[in-house]
Each structure stands twice: as C-alpha cells, then as structure tokens.
Amino acid sequence: MTRGEIWTVDIPAGNGHEQAGLRPVLIMSEIEANVVVVVPLTSNMAALRFPHTLQLMRGKLNCLKGVAVALVFQIRAIGRKKADGQLHQAVNALVAGGFVERTIPGKPNSRLQEYRLTEKGCGRLAEAQ
C-alpha cells in the first residue's frame, strides 16, 4: 500500500454523514503500525460544493470508472486489514502481463513509484478504443 494509490477499502461506519462501507479511497500515508490514512472517494459530483474536496479525473492507470471527488474533510485512519487491495492486484497483473511497467523497477513499493504503458499496453489500449 503506497501513498497515492487508489484501493478498495471497507470503511467502518462513523458518525453522521461520513462515508462507510466498501468504497474506493486514496491512500495518503505509508503503513505505520498497521494503520493507514485514507481519503474516501465518491462519484457524487454534488460533493464538490463542500470545502476541502478535490476533483479527480479518470486516468489510464488509476482504475476510476469516471470522475471522482476526494472527500478530504473525511480523512480517516483505518487498519490495514480493512483494505482489500483489488486495484493494487490489478496493477500487479498488468505489470506481470507486460501491459505496464514500473518507472523504478527495483523498488515496487517506493513512494515515488509510477507506471507507464508499454508498447504492448499501448496496442491493447488502441484496440479497446
């Protein structure tokens, strides 16, 4: 789990109108003492009316289904076991399949890690469009 990744997490119920349940989150911290700090995401664009929100655009590698809103004002610390890692597993499958490559090959968990499409990945993307 690396800062900047988007994971699917089971957020425990909180008070009031906080986001809860299985949903995508933006990882904001490295794991420390099996706790990770996350920002819940929503597809409800009306949430942009609140202060401390951030619009995230769909990208080739972020696995978002569309535009999302990061609800920074609902930042939470959760146990690592709550994260199921579906998106992380998908990225690893794309790397293993040769569709994307790491920009720092020897350090897959580096906080500076980024990914880029390979020639094979570009070809598959062109076929899909």
How many other β-carbons are positioned within 10 Å of the β-carbon of residue 41?
22
In-domain check, residue 1: no
Query: Does 98 lie in the same domain as 66?
Result: no
Query: Does 73 lie in the same domain as 10?
Result: yes
Task: Give the total number of structural domains in the chain.
Answer: 2
What pLDDT shows up at residue 53?
A: 93
pTM over 0.85: no
Query: Does 45 lie in the same domain as 13?
Result: yes
Contact between 70 and 26 under an 8 Å Cβ cutoff? The reply is yes
Query: Does 92 lie in the same domain as 76?
Result: no
Average pLDDT over residues 84-109: 81
Give the DSSP letter string of 72-95: GGG-EEEEGGGB--HHHHHHHHHH
Is the pLDDT at 100 greater than 70, yes or no? yes
Is the pLDDT at 84 greater than 60, yes or no? no
Average pLDDT over residues 53-81: 84
Average pLDDT over residues 54-68: 81
What pLDDT shows up at residue 73?
A: 92
Q: Which of 50, 48, 45, 43 is nearest to 16 (CA)?
A: 50
Query: Does 73 lie in the same domain as 32?
Result: yes
In-domain check, residue 73: yes
